[in-house]
Structure 1
Amino acid sequence: MKIIFKLPLAAMSLLAVVSCKEVKKEANDAADEMEEAVEEVKQEVMAQSIKFMMEPKSDSDVKGEVTFTEENGTVKMMANLSGLTEGEHAIHIHQTADCSSADGKSTGGHWNPTNEPHGKWGAEEGYHKGDIGNFVADAAGNAVKEFETDQWCIGCEDENKNIVGKAVIVHQGIDDFTSQPSGAAGARVSCTGIIQ
């Protein structure tokens, strides 16, 4: 009789151990899935994007849109433009989100919160936080300019990085990266204010 009772008891013990391991594995798998889901939500919260339409200035036909996306401490700018003359043009961030004047000069000078000389982005001699650089328009007058940096933010409290309240300006000519204070890039042919 004792043997009959011991075998079912041993089998039940073994079944309980196996069941506990399976339950623990399922709990761990569920915890891993939950952690991945939380991480995805965090990344979505950390990524923000703002888009603005560029408007013609200085009797030009230059228009388009510019998008800024911030994710994990880096801001990416994507500008899609049309109505340009074929060739190189400069694009900068200017200090004031005010495109009200016909010539775009209501935006003020380049955004330069650290009081550096004008120059090419990353130059040892210095550069403005708004010194994005040049891009090339094709024969049809279309262009795309992409730019990415960890020296900007969208709406953060660091005024040396925050692009909100500034403007994007496209110029008729090229930035020579040396002329002060703005690279001698010529007329302002398109403008948008970065307002969140």
Structure 2
Amino acid sequence: MADLQPTPGHTATGSIAFRQVGGIVQVTGTVRGLPPRTEHGFHIHALGDCGDDGMAAGGHFDPQSLRHGRFGDPGVHAGELPSLHADSTGTATFSIESRAISLGSGPTGVIGRALVVHRDRDDFRTQPAGDSGPRIACAVIEPR
């Protein structure tokens, strides 16, 4: 689980669940408190620390030294997640499956890493992080 908390000056919160089924990790959740009808970069970051307005989480989780890009494209960071799309109430709900991460202790394991919502949309090409702006919510992924 990851319980997103807003960074100072922001209002985004949410609850994200991670569940491993074989070689697939299912990631589902809801993020609230986003500006209505906006798009936001959403990534797993390398470090499990949300201090310093989320900057202590480090860069994107990238155990294989790959490029930044769109979730699901071949050869991109393991920490890529689809962008969040807020509806008219500022709520984004999503459900995805990833083979790039795991809940184990191996190199693709995400337990203890940070989950970050960014203020802006991800352009999917600027390296190494997609130019998605400041971090507006952060959580450490923890077992429950």
* Normalised TM-score (structure 2): 0.92
Richer in strand (by share) = 2
SS of aligned partner of 2:15: strand
Identity %: 32
**Deviations along 1:26-52, whole A, 9 cap, x unmatched?**
xxxxxxxxxxxxxxxxxxxxxxxxx22
Which residue does the alignment assign to 1:153? 102
SS of aligned partner of 1:84: coil
Return the offset for 1:173: 0.7
**Is contact 2:4–2:14 with CA below 8 Å preserved after alignment?**
yes
2 CA distance for matches of 1:121 and 1:89? 13
Unaligned runs of 5+ in 1: 1-50
Does 1:178 find its partner at 2:125?
Answer: yes
Which residue does the alignment assign to 1:90? 41
Q: Report the AA paired with residue 144 of structure 1.
A: T
Q: Report the AA paired with residue 179 of structure 1.
A: T
Return the offset for 1:120: 1.2
Which residue does the alignment assign to 1:107? 57
**Is contact 2:46–2:62 with CA below 8 Å preserved after alignment?**
yes
2 CA distance for matches of 1:72 and 1:113? 20
Richer in helix (by share) = 1
SS of aligned partner of 2:41: strand
**Is contact 1:100–1:106 with CA below 8 Å preserved after alignment?**
yes
1 CA distance for matches of 2:72 and 2:91? 27
Does 1:194 find its partner at 2:144?
Answer: no
**Is contact 1:104–1:191 with CA below 8 Å preserved after alignment?**
yes
Return the offset for 1:139: 1.6
Larger radius of gyration between Structure 1 and Structure 2: 1
Return the offset for 1:127: 1.0
**Is contact 1:133–1:175 with CA below 8 Å preserved after alignment?**
no
Unaligned runs of 5+ in 2: none
Does 1:144 find its partner at 2:93?
Answer: yes
SS of aligned partner of 2:100: coil
Does 1:128 find its partner at 2:77?
Answer: yes
Runs of 4+ in 1 over 2 A off after TM superposition: 121-124
**Deviations along 1:140-166, whole A, 9 cap, x unmatched?**
111112221122211x2421x211121
Return the offset for 1:58: 4.0
Q: Report the AA paired with residue 49 of structure 2.
A: D
2 CA distance for matches of 1:52 and 1:120? 22
